[in-house]
């Protein structure tokens, strides 16, 4: 069989104008390395969750994992910064300097990040009657994986690291079905029950002690544009959810609106306006029809 590869080769602009695709460009973070980093981060936050650690002292285990995360994360952050630069020689120095700053910020924030993740896990146990113990939540609940990776990615996002934060949260999205943009701001004791289909947009702000169920969308209603009709990147376009709010399955909350503290948002509602504090929002209960099923005549 003689196969003609020419049409496929012709689809690569790089063959013609040196402008596209990844081979030959400065190295980028690879998906496999991002996955490795994500699992190392999970192991760092919950030692023993991903791999056996018998025969070592607890301090040795944590120290080893810190070194592993530092090494992997350092390489990925450097590649992310360096890809943004034009002058390879000079910008490699700048990229290394930016990498060191981002790593310093990350390790400075690491105790706070882990404290928040522990609070998230506790919120999962406290708010789910099906949870038998905290270990079950940590080892099996998908939101733990999603929120752990989000909180790390959010720290890197704030440090100005390009590419990598989104790659990390998209890995968690693939693993769990929970899509949290690293730019979102999420408070303490956050719990996502079940989780599949949850979407939390970039400029969402979520307060403390918030519970979200599967299928919830915190999305944008519209995209602000500049005078040339181009989307303004980073403009606030997603909801703000205040403290102690519960949002039930498949609710859709859109736009730069505010859901006040202590609200209960019922399943399948569609919200595009502010909701005052301590309000219950429900759709009208549908009517049901009951009709006897008659046996067919023989």
The range of the structural domain enclosing residue 208 comes to: 197-284
Query: Last residue of some domain: 177, 212, 228?
Result: 177
What pLDDT sits at residue 51?
67
| In a domain? residue 5 | no
Task: Clarify whether residues 211 and 274 are in a common domain.
Answer: yes
Range scoring the smallest mean pLDDT among 57-71, 141-155, 156-170: 57-71
| In a domain? residue 206 | yes
Task: Clarify whether residues 125 and 233 are in a common domain.
Answer: no
- What CA–CA distance (Å, rounded) separates 67 from 44? 10
pLDDT digits (tens, 9 = 90+) for 101-139: 999 999 999 999 999 999 999 999 999 999 999 999 999
Query: Last residue of some domain: 116, 148, 177?
Result: 177
| In a domain? residue 76 | yes
DSSP state of 267: T
How many other CB atoms sit within 10 Å of the CB of residue 143?
Answer: 25
CATH number at residue 203: 2.160.10.10
Task: Clarify whether residues 206 and 108 are in a common domain.
Answer: no
As given in the structure block, the two tokens for residue 222 are: 């519209």
Task: Clarify whether residues 47 and 154 are in a common domain.
Answer: yes
Task: Clarify whether residues 207 and 157 are in a common domain.
Answer: no
| In a domain? residue 49 | yes
Task: Clarify whether residues 61 and 153 are in a common domain.
Answer: yes
CATH number at residue 123: 1.10.3130.10
Task: Clarify whether residues 133 and 224 are in a common domain.
Answer: no
Task: Clarify whether residues 170 and 262 are in a common domain.
Answer: no
**pLDDT band of 86, cuts 50, 70, 90:** low
Q: pTM (2 decimals)?
A: 0.89
| In a domain? residue 203 | yes
Question: Smallest Cα–Cα separation from 26: which of 77, 76, 86, 98?
Answer: 86
- What CA–CA distance (Å, rounded) separates 18 from 254? 41
Question: Smallest Cα–Cα separation from 99: which of 113, 85, 81?
Answer: 81
Rounded alpha-carbon distances, angstroms, from residue 169 to 44, 152, 281: 17, 9, 30
| In a domain? residue 186 | no
Q: What percent of the chain has pLDDT over 70?
A: 91
Average pLDDT along the chain: 90
Q: Considering its fold, how many domains does the chain have in total?
A: 2
Q: Residue 264, SS3? A: strand
**pLDDT band of 173, cuts 50, 70, 90:** very high
| In a domain? residue 6 | no
| In a domain? residue 21 | no
> Is residue 90's pLDDT more than 90?
no
Where residue 98 falls (left for φ over 0; alpha for ψ -120 to 50; beta otherwise) is alpha
Task: Clarify whether residues 112 and 41 are in a common domain.
Answer: yes
Task: Clarify whether residues 37 and 172 are in a common domain.
Answer: yes
Query: Last residue of some domain: 120, 142, 177?
Result: 177
Task: Clarify whether residues 144 and 216 are in a common domain.
Answer: no
Task: Clarify whether residues 173 and 208 are in a common domain.
Answer: no
């Amino acid at each position: 069989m003689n196969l003609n590869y020419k049409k496929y080769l012709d689809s690569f602009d790089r063959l013609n104008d040196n402008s596209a695709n990844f081979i030959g460009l400065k190295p980028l973070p690879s998906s496999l390395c991002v996955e490795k980093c994500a699992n190392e981060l999970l192991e760092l936050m919950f030692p023993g969750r991903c791999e056996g650690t018998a025969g070592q002292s607890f301090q040795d285990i944590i120290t080893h994992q810190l070194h592993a995360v530092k090494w992997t994360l350092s390489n990925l952050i450097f590649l992310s910064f360096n890809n943004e630069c034009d002058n390879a020689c000079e910008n490699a120095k700048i990229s290394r300097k930016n990498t060191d700053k981002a790593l310093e910020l990350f390790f400075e924030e690491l105790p706070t990040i882990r404290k928040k993740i522990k609070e998230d896990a506790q919120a999962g146990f406290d708010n789910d009657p099906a949870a038998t113990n905290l270990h079950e939540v940590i080892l099996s609940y998908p939101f733990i994986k999603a929120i752990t990776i989000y909180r790390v990615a959010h720290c890197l996002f704030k440090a100005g690291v390009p590419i990598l934060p989104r790659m990390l949260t998209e890995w968690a999205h693939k693993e769990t079905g929970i899509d949290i943009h690293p730019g979102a701001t999420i408070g303490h004791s956050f719990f996502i029950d079940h989780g599949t289909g949850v979407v939390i947009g970039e400029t969402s702000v979520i307060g403390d002690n918030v519970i979200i169920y599967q299928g919830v969308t915190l999305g944008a209603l519209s995209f602000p544009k500049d005078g040339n009709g181009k989307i303004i990147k980073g403009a606030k376009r997603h909801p703000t959810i205040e403290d102690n709010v519960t949002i039930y399955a498949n609710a859709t909350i859109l736009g730069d609106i505010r859901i006040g503290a202590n609200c209960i948002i019922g399943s399948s509602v569609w919200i595009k306006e502010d909701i005052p504090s301590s309000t219950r929002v429900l759709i009208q209960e549908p009517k049901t029809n009951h009709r006897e099923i008659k046996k067919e005549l023989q």
